[in-house]
Structure 1
Amino acid sequence: MTKFKHMLLAAALAAPVAFTAGNATAQVSGIAVANPEQAVANSKAWTAARSQIQAQYKTQLDQANTRRTAIQAELQPLVTAYQTAARAPGASEASLRPQAQAIQTKQQAAQQELARLTEPAQRAESYAIEQISAKLSDAVQAAVRARNVTLLLRPEAALFAQPAADITPAITAELDKSVPSVGITPPANWQPGQGQGAAAAQPAQRSRPQGR
């Protein structure tokens, strides 16, 4: 979930936190809480996109998992040797530096290798999340208007909140209506973050089922 939260950070920060109450019939009134990352994570569009990505990039993801296990096995003897050397009488930072550098070099190479294997899937994830996040602010506003919420907080910002004060499911429901599906194949020249605003909304709109 940590990686997912990083992907969503910009969109979550952009989501409004305070609103003027509307005239809609309220189920919640006044102050409410919501987790924007969870709202996106629970959306139908993300659930479907994640399944598609896992299927489409299964070979690369399986290779990454296999290599990750192998790399851990390769690193463990080096780490054990370093720990043993560190406990030896007379061990110093200078004497341990070559072993530490060897471990660090191998770790960096491993990270680069795993990044190459997982990059296509991560790129697809970022593209899908960006399309959903483009509608997050509108979904938040629709949810708070429908419930006469005048102040919306993140759950961690509230000392106490009744379960009924959590409108995260309502935001997810709004997302499901506004962006029921997204594409997982970004354009060749697409870069994460460049689709904020109207540009990011276009792919979601194109993928929306046609109405009457």
Structure 2
Amino acid sequence: MSDYITRLKERRANIWEQTKELLDTAEARGGDQANLTAEEEQTYQRLNADLDAIDARAKEMADAEQRTKDADEAFRALLEREPAPEARQNQEKGEVEKVRAWLTGQSGSRSYDVRPDKALPLDARALSKLTAAAGANTVPISFYNRLVQHMIEVSGILAAGPTVLRTATGEQMQIPKTTAHSANAGIVAEAAQLPANEPTFGQVSLDAYKYGFTLQVSHELANDTAV
């Protein structure tokens, strides 16, 4: 708002300087305002209209500022009055929420002012959740209804980082493998023929097996569990 007022004031000063320059030009010709040319008269009327508009806007802003001050004074007087019982209850709830927000760190403030002279009483107690009687009985308990399954990795095979093959059914899988590698390599002279030697291949079968156990659940547990 202050920047707007500054620009408005600068604009009025600029228009006023243009108006004075126009009148000074007419006076230098040996005339007065009545001897302005038609074009100068139009310019003079336009500048005066701009001045009137700026003055009216400044008056409106001054009136609005005064109304704001009057409204602030009225609200301050109303707030200083003794609140009604309903308003007092809402105020007490608001104070409770402020204390709770400060205690839990939600307010972001590192301090909280305790004023015994306020209209609302405030009692100080050394309470905690360490014991049931000191406050733990007032804290509700929530239950997470998702089971976190633990994993056991003690197999030597899994520790060796094997390749795990998954099939859609339990059929047998044939895995190709080599049974012998070339072992007749030797020194060969330049441009001499290399001896031929091929590896041999075979197959190994991987079978699927079923591992199972029985988990017995009582009818009562099935009805009452939250998981």
**Do they superpose with TM above 0.5?**
no
* Greater radius of gyration (CA): 2
Q: Which has the higher contact order (CA 8 A, sep 6+)?
A: 1
Higher helix share: 1
TM-score (norm 1): 0.29
